[in-house]
Chain A
């Protein structure tokens, strides 16, 4: 399938500031998107998801925005904390093609400066 990519490979933010991590996808048939957080030595941890019939979804300190017109996804983290330091991946899947795989981008490393 087509790949999901990220605009910025690394991001450094001051503790307490808001973080925005961006993701571009190329498969216009993708209808479900997920953000995962991966800390060093661990598996990816689910953060938040969004379906293609939505353009915004909020969780605890996190918001995902989906712009299907430009095939763009973003993760906003409010009041970034040192524990948010990790690699963040966006992933996408297309439910109607008979394929059930998640396609991941390369990831963005978020570093929080105390």
Chain B
């Protein structure tokens, strides 16, 4: 399945963070979502075959990349208190998002 690391992370305002995701075997598409407490996930990025395929309404402080083995990293610079959330990675097969997206357990980021 989809794995994410670390499971929990505590940072202070202004710091930078890198979150990691390993996609499910055979999947070449990775999507990142931010889930605030009590809310549904919000789309951040999608990468297909190492190229950015879509970007949600997030500031440039958020960036991502996908590696040749289809794993991915999400980077957030200049952290704000409002960045505290559960960050979810989902993988799917093919660039068409109609293909089922399978989610990892998420990384819980707390910004103090």
What is A's interface to B at a CB cutoff of 8 Å?
A: 4, 31-32, 34, 36, 41-46, 49, 51, 89, 91, 93, 95, 98-107
Please give 15 more A-B residue pairs, beta carbons under 8 A apart, in addition to A51-B98, A104-B33.
Answer: A32-B98, A34-B101, A41-B105, A42-B105, A43-B90, A44-B88, A46-B101, A100-B54, A100-B97, A101-B46, A103-B43, A104-B40, A105-B40, A106-B39, A107-B40
Are A106 and B102 in touch, CB under 8 angstroms?
no
Are A104 and B42 in touch, CB under 8 angstroms?
yes
- Binary per-residue interface labels of chain B (37-67) against chain A in the complex, 1 for a CB within 8 Å, 0 otherwise: 0111111001010000110100000000000
Give the number of residues in B that approach A within 8 Å (Cβ atoms). Answer: 27
CB neighbours (8 Å) of A93 from chain B are: 97-98
CB neighbours (8 Å) of A45 from chain B are: 103
Inter-chain contact count A-B, CB under 8 Å? 69
Across the interface, B43 reaches (CB within 8 A) one of A31, A42, A95, A101, namely A101
Closest residue of chain B to A46 (Cβ to Cβ) is B100
B59 smallest CB distance to A (angstroms): 17
Of the A-B pairs whose beta carbons lie under 8 Å apart in the complex, a sample of 27, sorted by A's number, is A31-B98, A32-B97, A34-B100, A43-B2, A43-B88, A43-B103, A43-B104, A43-B105, A44-B41, A44-B88, A46-B101, A49-B100, A91-B40, A99-B54, A100-B31, A100-B48, A100-B53, A100-B54, A102-B31, A102-B43, A102-B97, A104-B40, A104-B41, A104-B42, A106-B39, A106-B40, A107-B39
In the bound assembly, the distance between CA atoms of A62 and B15 in angstroms comes to: 44
B35 smallest CB distance to A (angstroms): 8
Are A102 and B54 in touch, CB under 8 angstroms?
no
CB neighbours (8 Å) of B102 from chain A are: 46
